[in-house]
Amino acid sequence: MDRAHAERRALEILEALGMDGEKFTDPLEDMSRGMQQKVAITRALLVNPPLLLLDEPTTGLDPKSRRDVQTFLERLRSEQGTTILLTSHDMAETERLCSRIGFIAKGCLIAEGTAEELKRRSNAASLDDAFIALAGEKLEEGDGGAGRKSNEVALAEA
């Protein structure tokens, strides 16, 4: 991809993510964490990948930026058919963005299905409750910290 095309595409994506195009030339280290995350997502999307891997894509973002990123990812999935594999501890975001969800506890896949299937299987009102019910005895105080093997993982399929 030539430089001019890459810059046009990057501006297009950044603006779709709610970032002011004038900030495009700011040094990365001068940007807020949210802006840095938007730049990272933009870099990943420059080549229109059929599969996009995202780790906690909205962590640390303000509410408007979080909504901008979520809306952009929904459009990307529906309009371009991109498959998005994301990890998240935010079950509301997971439910919004993902057509299929897998729960992982201590490094093992413990359940997989749609949000409704997982809630029904665990007789839970929320996805948070479903995760807790399905993880059962596998969860212990302190799980989920840095370097620990306890994560919720969500898979959004196009």
**Are 128 and 74 found together in one domain?**
no
Structure confidence by residue, pLDDT tens digits, 108-151: 899 999 999 999 999 999 999 999 999 885 555 544 444 444 45
Give the pTM.
0.75
Which is nearest to 60 in space by CA: 40, 76, 44? 40
**Are 82 and 99 found together in one domain?**
no
Structure confidence by residue, pLDDT tens digits, 64-92: 888 988 998 998 888 888 898 999 989 99
Domain count, the chain: 2
The residue segments making up the domain with residue 129 are 95-156
Instruction: Give the pLDDT score at 9.
Output: 87
**Are 7 and 83 found together in one domain?**
yes
Instruction: Give the pLDDT score at 77.
Output: 87
Centroid of chain to Cα 55 = 6
